[in-house]
Amino acid sequence: MKSRFPLKDIALQAGLSLATVDRVMHEREGVRAVTRARVVAAIAELERQYVQAGLAGRRLVIDVVMDTPQRFSAAVREAFEAELPGMRPASFSARFHVAETMSEQELLSILRAIRRRGSHGVVLKAPSTPAIADLAGQLMAARIPVVTLVTDLPENSRIGYVGMDNRVAGATSAYLLGRMAGERAGKVLVTLSSSLFAGEDERERGFRDVLADRFPHLAVVRISEGFGVDRATELLVRDALEREPEIRAVYSAGGGNRAILKAFADARRECTVFAAHDLDQDNIRLLAAGEITFVIHHDLRHDARSACQLMLAYHRMLPADFQIAPSRVAIATPFETAH
């Protein structure tokens, strides 16, 4: 039997005498099977400790790439910066590449630069286009793992998705909004930042399914391509309100909520129920002020932690079959933000 460890260390770990360990290591006669098993187990534990000690000194640098409004990217950055110092067994640092709106070519340029420079992993929130999915696949082929955040890409272009189940989030919003809106017929304005974000599309599908099944007196009016940016979103909402006098509630799946509220106020239109997404600073203030009714959200720190754990598993610092749990869909009311 061979081992990299001194006999005295094995003896200490196994709780046996040095002489007994010497007999086991040199495969001499007269050693019981249970004693041999204790030595084997001690060596295995020392190996584990040795590997962990080596990993503890390893540093992983990841890239977080997000096409998203600043209010959400700030919340994500805060979540990663809170989680990264406590990650084990390796230490992490992150480079952030964010913008309120990016063209597809700008996103592709960032991802190509990461592929050339190298990275231990990419956390990606981006539109689900064929070109972006293809380049994510190229990163994977270059042994740079990709984890999608809150909105997904095809499975072959990433190692995992972190975030909540967007269809469940949309369904939950429809259930609550429908119950609050009452029995009077009307229309619900559903706002997406862009139809290219798979996560928002899933939210809308879940919302529509529940509304049609449980609240058929409420119809959906959909707007998109405001990208969560205030001015573009406000113009889209103004146009929808002019065309649809029966709109009396909002499901904001894509943000820009101050702009949506401004459009309603300028048109002198009432919004009986306003359902929003994400507990960013804007939504916390709007919720506390009673300007939006409830917010569907999830734990971004859980997402950051899960993304890092997927990277660790990819780099063989966690078991290869390591599984992450999805973020739970949560609901915030004005009472939770009052203080």
> Tell me, what's the pLDDT at 14?
82
Mean pLDDT of 132-158: 97
> Tell me, what's the pLDDT at 52?
60
**% pLDDT > 90, the chain:** 75
Architecture of domain 7-55: Orthogonal Bundle (1.10)
Provide the pLDDT confidence category of residue 50 given band limits of 50, 70 and 90: low
User: Can you give the residue ranges of every domain in the chain?
Assistant: 7-55, 59-163+300-327, 166-297
Residues 174 and 152 sit within 8 Å (Cβ to Cβ): no
Give the span between the Cα atoms of 238 and 250, in whole angstroms.
Answer: 13
pLDDT at residue 49 above 70?
A: no
Assigned CATH for 166-297: 3.40.50.2300
CATH class, domain 59-163+300-327, is: alpha beta
Decide which of 157 and 6 is more confident: 157
pLDDT at residue 57 above 80?
A: no
Tokens of 137: 């696949």
Whether 7-55 shares its CATH topology with 166-297 is answered: no
pTM of the model: 0.81
**How does pLDDT run across 245-268, given as a tens digit for each residue?**
999 999 999 999 999 999 999 999
> Tell me, what's the pLDDT at 339?
43
Q: Give the least confident one: 35-49, 113-127, 281-295.
A: 35-49
